[in-house]
């Protein structure tokens, strides 16, 4: 029979191709996955750079205006400490204390408040109103803290309905005790107009807050957000450890996930944040990811289909080659090995037994008077008899390594690797007895031919396969010469040694 190794090799090739296909598919996926990851990283970095630059620009504008206003407040503080300031007329005192910055757009009046909270001087009015600010946070802070510096108040509503914040500094007596407050007001509309100039996404945000979390202005604008407290925001996990930076978090205001860039405004107790919607950042990336992912799936699908097709074709080809190998080494009439298959088998088994130092036995079987049988009963019935005899011979071969073959026209061979002459004679007798047991009714005639068998066995290392065939053929000749329908064993030095 043909070797199964070629078919096994084909299966191994198929497995190898499938593994290569899987590696290529994973390689495609890895490459495209890396590309997508890098694209997402770049989109995020680009968005963060833009947010950081925007925050820095707005913070710079706000810081500059607050510093200018603070200079006006400090000028008032210094002016109030001048000798004889109280003896000047209100007109000259206004000219001395207040400069043009106090009347700039979005900046309200500068107020001088005494130690009881009473308004004593108003930059916009020669006669100050009867107002007391002792309950305002900016008054209480300076009253309690001598070194509060510039203080920016919580938002409050003026009698006119405007939302304001106060920028204030402490007034001190010559002995250092609390003497009142100089406070300037700033309209929140300044921040609102400044924020409106910035083009933001639908879900992006801009927020200006004090360092205690109090919101001064926010976009998208909501009046309810003015004065709200965001002290639970993630920004206060970063600040004041770092005066600027970024973080990603769920917004306290509306629950949307945003990427935030923040920065402290100068040395003031203010923070500016720009929150970018994470979903909006990755909109373009998701579109590209869908296209690239579809292309990846298509390429992987094509690759898998090609691999499956190629592996299937290899298996089909392997089976076809196996079938062809079987057909090439099988006798069509009897189903036994043909002469080619027998030659391959004896060469293969001879090498194996030679390595194992084992004997190899051979039976050559010839149908007696078969030519006369064909002449009398016809070739069709003769072929039928050969098929029946072949089945009997094949049934007598039990071990997987044993090989039965049609050696010639009416001649058969049985190869018995590892068998001694005694074992070979036992098998030969079983074959001869099985042939004799055939009934003429089964053959469709009155006579079933007998068989003559020649047996030989020799150590594989003591000669060659040709020697074994020659000894078995000589034994067969003796069987036919001595009357046929008998078994003869080869008598030679090699066969005697094998016994």
Please give the positions annotated as active site: 410
Cα torsion for 141, 143, 148, 151, to the nearest 10°? 50
Q: Count Cβ atoms below 10 Å from residue 72 Cβ, excluding itself.
A: 23
- What are the C-alpha distances in Å from 136 to residues 141, 156, 166, 440? 9, 9, 10, 132
Do 123 and 102 touch, CB atoms closer than 8 A?
yes
Burial-class residue 226 by CB neighbours within 10 Å (0-12, 13-18, 19+). Answer: buried
Residue with tokens 């070629």: 6
Cα torsion for 141, 147, 153, 159, to the nearest 10°? 70
Cα dihedral 171, 175, 178, 180 sign = negative
How many residues comprise the chain?
499
Task: Using alpha carbons, select from 489, 471, 469 the residue that is nearest to residue 479.
Answer: 489
Q: How far is the C-alpha of 38 from the C-alpha of 40, rounded, in Å?
A: 5
Q: Count Cβ atoms below 10 Å from residue 14 Cβ, excluding itself.
A: 20
Query: H or E segment at 6?
Result: helix 5-80
Cα dihedral 81, 83, 85, 86 sign = positive
Q: How far is the C-alpha of 229 from the C-alpha of 88, rounded, in Å?
A: 44
Do 358 and 417 touch, CB atoms closer than 8 A?
yes
Q: How far is the C-alpha of 228 from the C-alpha of 253, rounded, in Å?
A: 9
Q: How far is the C-alpha of 444 from the C-alpha of 377, rounded, in Å?
A: 10
Q: What burial letters (b/e) apply to 92-102, b meaning 16+ CB within 10 Å?
A: ebbeebbbebb
User: Could you report how far apart the first and last alpha carbons of the chain are, in Å?
Assistant: 28
435-441, Cβ contacts within 8 angstroms, sequence gap of 24 or more: 435/389, 435/392, 436/485, 438/388, 438/392
The two tokens of residue 402 are 């044993």
Do 262 and 271 touch, CB atoms closer than 8 A?
yes
Strand, coil or helix: 459:
strand
């Amino acid at each position: 029979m043909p070797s199964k190794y070629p078919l096994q090799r084909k299966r191994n090739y198929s497995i190898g191709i499938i593994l290569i296909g899987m590696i290529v598919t994973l390689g495609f996926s890895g490459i495209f996955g890396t590309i997508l990851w890098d694209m997402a990283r770049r989109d995020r970095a680009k968005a963060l750079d833009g947010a950081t630059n925007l925050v820095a620009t707005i913070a710079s504008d706000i810081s500059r205006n607050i510093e200018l206003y603070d200079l006006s407040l400090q000028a008032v503080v210094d002016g109030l400490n001048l000798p004889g300031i109280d003896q000047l007329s209100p007109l000259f005192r206004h000219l001395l204390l207040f400069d043009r910055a106090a009347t700039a757009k979005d900046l309200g009046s500068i107020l001088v408040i005494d130690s009881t909270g009473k308004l004593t001087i108003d930059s916009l009015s020669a006669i100050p109103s009867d107002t007391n600010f002792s309950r305002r946070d900016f008054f209480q802070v300076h009253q309690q803290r001598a070194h509060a510096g510039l203080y920016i108040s919580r938002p409050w509503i003026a009698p006119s309905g405007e939302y304001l914040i106060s920028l204030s500094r402490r007034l001190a007596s010559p002995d250092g005790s609390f003497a009142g407050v100089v406070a300037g007001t700033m309209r929140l509309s300044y921040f609102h107009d400044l924020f409106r100039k910035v083009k933001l996404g639908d879900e992006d945000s801009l927020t200006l807050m004090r360092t205690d979390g109090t919101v001064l202005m926010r976009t998208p604008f909501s009046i309810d957000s003015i004065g709200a407290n965001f002290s639970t925001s993630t920004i206060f996990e970063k600040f004041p450890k770092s005066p600027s930076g970024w973080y990603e978090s769920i917004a306290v205001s509306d629950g949307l996930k945003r990427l935030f860039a923040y920065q402290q405004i100068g040395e003031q107790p203010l923070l500016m944040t720009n929150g970018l919607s994470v979903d909006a950042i990755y909109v373009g990336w998701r579109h590209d990811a869908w296209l690239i992912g579809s292309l990846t799936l298509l390429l992987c699908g094509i690759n898998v289909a090609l691999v499956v097709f190629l592996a299937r074709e290899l298996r089909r080809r392997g089976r076809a080659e196996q079938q062809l190998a079987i057909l090439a080494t099988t006798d069509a009439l009897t189903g036994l090995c043909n002469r080619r298959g027998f030659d391959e088998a004896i060469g293969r088994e001879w090498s194996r037994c030679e390595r194992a130092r084992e004997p190899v036995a051979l039976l050559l079987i010839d149908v007696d008077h078969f030519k006369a049988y064909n002449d009398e009963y016809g070739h069709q019935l003769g072929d039928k008899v050969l098929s029946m005899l072949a089945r009997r011979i094949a049934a007598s071969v039990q071990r997987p390594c044993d090989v039965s073959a049609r050696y010639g026209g009416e001649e058969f061979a049985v190869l018995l690797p590892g068998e001694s002459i005694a074992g070979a004679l036992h098998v030969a007798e079983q074959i001869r007895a099985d042939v004799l047991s055939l009934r003429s009714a089964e053959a469709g005639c009155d006579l079933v031919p007998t068989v003559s068998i020649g047996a030989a066995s020799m150590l594989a290392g003591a000669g060659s396969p040709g020697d074994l065939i020659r000894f078995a053929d000589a034994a067969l000749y003796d069987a036919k010469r001595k009357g046929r329908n008998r078994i003869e064993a080869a008598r030679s030095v090699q066969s005697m040694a094998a016994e």
